[in-house]
Amino acid sequence: MVIYDSSKRVFKLDTENTSYVMGVTEEGYLGNIYYGKKADTTDLMYAMRIDEHPFTPAKLPGEKIGFMDRFPSEYPFDGTGDFHGNCINIRNHKGQEGLELKVQSHNIYTGKRKINGMPSARGEGTMSLDIVLSDKAVGAEVILTYTVYEECDIITRSARAVNVSDKEFYITKALSACLNLETDVSDILSLHGSWARERHIQRSKINYGSYVIESLRGEPGHQDHPFIALLSENCNKESGDVYAMNLVYSGNFIARVQKDQFDRVRASIGINPEHFCWKLEGGQEFEMPEVIMQYTCKGTNGMTNNFHNFFRKYILPPRWTDAERPVLINNWEATYFDFNDDKLVQIAEEASKLGIEMLVMDDGWFGHRNLDNSSLGDWYVNEEKIKGGLKKLVDRVNALGMKFGIWFEPEMISPDSDLYREHPEWALALDGREPGLCRTQYVLDFSRHEVVDYIYSRLYEILKSANIEYVKWDMNRPLAEAASLSLPADRQGEVLHRHVLALYELQERLVTDFPDLLLENCSGGGARFDAGMLYYSPQIWCSDNADPVERLMIQEGTHLIYPLSTTGTHVADSPNHVNGRVTPFDTRADVALTGTFGYELDVTRIAEEERNLIPAQIEKYKKYRHLVQTGDYYRIASFRENGRYDSYMVVSKDKDKAVLIYVQVVTDSNVLTKKLKLYGLAPDKKYNIDGVEYLGSTLMNVGYIMKPLRGDFQSVVVEINPAE
């Protein structure tokens, strides 16, 4: 629900359990008043503390800047006295910078406006609010949009800047949202890592000054994540305050938390202003990506469930939200570049006997690519490897009862490629300097429409040529030296954002032309696992590291925000190809159970003992597939925290059944067995675990005794059913 109380000059946005409140001062400034548990009144202007400001402009016009230094601005702007980190900055045609945004009008309406050119949450059954802010001297308007998702306790926010003058100006900073808090938040929750160890959870104290996480890589990256949460000191898994923001964007981002001299905390998030500058002509507008925002008093598990419910209903492609995902086998770690059609069919023949449902042909099928130093951009089948062409291979795989998928890296171009030899200007590069290589490849200049159209035409022709039902879209290097040889000097700051917009355009065209295609995004593993990508692809390859011990920490951080069904999880070889760790085959499968499930190995070469385990592993996955895809996920214990074991569970929406996963990483000697307090069950319902009946309240309050496991890297999956 969205309310505007004109007598109080107060906006109140209500979800099922929360309220977000803003107020308009006498001068027209929009301020943040309150965010938290549901408020039952709009008589809340007092909480903005206007009367405590000795320098209110209405009372003392000569002290505007002192007032702005104290004011909890809803969308802070640069150059007028707010020194606590702003959201927007504009440089006018005379080179001057500075804004003063005041409320001009507002509009409350049902449903939601689509953000042009970018993914955003669907708006069925919602209410929205637009607030128009204006600076007449600059000729700029900023429209703030809020949409309320009542049942998820989620509010989405976005902004767009409009040039209402007849002169161009330049947007040099364009963040999407800001949150001002005067509550007892003390901690920052964020996700960090590197290649092969993405999205590790970090909890830090909020101190005076600024805390920044960001990416300058042209994508969110392995290192940081476009998400930030502020926690109360007592916040744990089941209780405590959480304020969270997640940016729906797949490029450079910044999230900043600042504690000021008045002990207030401001958090903001949006496009990273470094290397960014957008020229806006008169009459044009610039859209900023959406932010998914929530408050909960139910701890991190409460935050997780809100995000999961929201993503499943409003972000993920509807075609795939409830659809079963096929169990696949990818040939990458099985063969790398050393394969041909017969080898792939040999893998498919063995895989089909074991119950695997799809073969994915990874890198190396096109151009003359036998190593990673050639042929990107030459999206033509290498018929020396794939004899008779792609359709013949796909038909052979389909004849085995298996689906077929294929790998692309559409954003890249190799120096050793026919495309680069014909169009060297199509690669991003500084004029007069040889472009920098990474993975022996360059990045295509997606600010050129002819490049985007050409690449899509090649993808389209390949996908039309055979019965291809799955695409793995990869991106294996960051964007550096991101300069276009076609854009004018005053638009070079647009290159990185234009790349993201073109990426969205390509994927939109792909899923529109091929509506039944299962698209899985990937970026060197998990460097682009974000809400923007999930709008097009219902699953993303979680990490290039499928070692189950490392995956415990990667998946813990990923599942903190994103539904389990979005996580690409495979059973890989042992010793692991990334870190060399040796682990049991069934433990690798149990850790991969809470994801999309598949295999990353050569089933024709693994030990017969392991191969014989695959049918039972697939049967177990299929048994829990619907529950994992639709149920509520709860974190019980963290290997990252205790260094010994990991545990989590998924409970059906009707609380009728659940599955508990326990992984013992390190064996303990002469210690008590683990007592695990479970979550999400019905307190008064009786449950059966291995023939023993328990009340739900008993399992949640007293706990479940986990039977001891012998040896390191052991796992068990515990089924929880209703008692007869």
Q: Which positions are annotated as active-site residues?
A: 474, 544
What is d(CA 67, CA 203) in angstroms, rounded to the nearest whole number? 33
Distance CA 648, CA 663 (A): 9
Write the single-letter amino acid at 375.
Answer: S
Helix (H), strand (E) at residue 531: helix 531-534
**714: its two tokens:** 């052991």
Cα–chain center distance at 187:
22
**The total number of residues written for the chain in this structure:** 724
Instruction: State the virtual CA torsion across 437, 441, 442, 448 in degrees, nearest 10.
Output: 180
Residue whose C-alpha is closest to residue 164's, from 136, 197, 133, 202: 136
Q: Which residues, including other chains, have CB under 8 Å from residue 39's CB and lie 6 or more apart?
A: 12, 19, 21
What are the CB-based long-range contacts (under 8 Å, 24+) for 544-547?
544/195, 544/196, 544/578, 545/196, 545/197, 545/576, 545/578, 545/579, 546/570, 546/571, 546/572, 546/576, 546/578, 546/588, 546/592, 546/600, 547/572, 547/576, 547/578, 547/579, 547/581, 547/583
Those residues with Cβ within 8 angstroms of residue 722's Cβ, 6 or more apart along the chain or in another chain = 656, 657, 685, 686, 687, 688
CA atoms within 13 A on the CB side of 439: 19
For residue 105, the tally of other CB atoms under 10 A from its CB is 11
- With H, G, I as helix, E, B as strand and everything else as coil, classify residue 212: strand
**C-alpha to C-alpha distance for 267 and 229, rounded to whole angstroms:** 9
Query: 239, 210 in Cβ contact below 8 A?
Result: no
Residue 86 to residue 270: CA distance in whole angstroms: 11
Pick the closest to residue 536 from 320, 226, 329 (CA basis).
320
- Distance separating alpha carbons of residues 455 and 365, to the nearest angstrom: 17
For residue 710 the two structure tokens come to: 């012998």
Q: Is the dihedral of CA 549, 553, 558, 561 positive or negative?
A: positive
Q: Which residues contact 216 (CB under 8 A, 6 or more apart)?
A: 252, 272, 274, 275
CA–CA separation, 647 and 634 (whole Å): 9
Q: How far apart are CA 582 and CA 251, in angstroms?
A: 36
Gap between the Cα atoms of 213 and 190, Å rounded: 8
Paired tokens of 240: 């405590």
Cα torsion angle, 396, 402, 403, 405, sign: negative
**Gap between the Cα atoms of 307 and 301, Å rounded:** 10
Q: For residue 175, what are its two tokens?
A: 């963040």
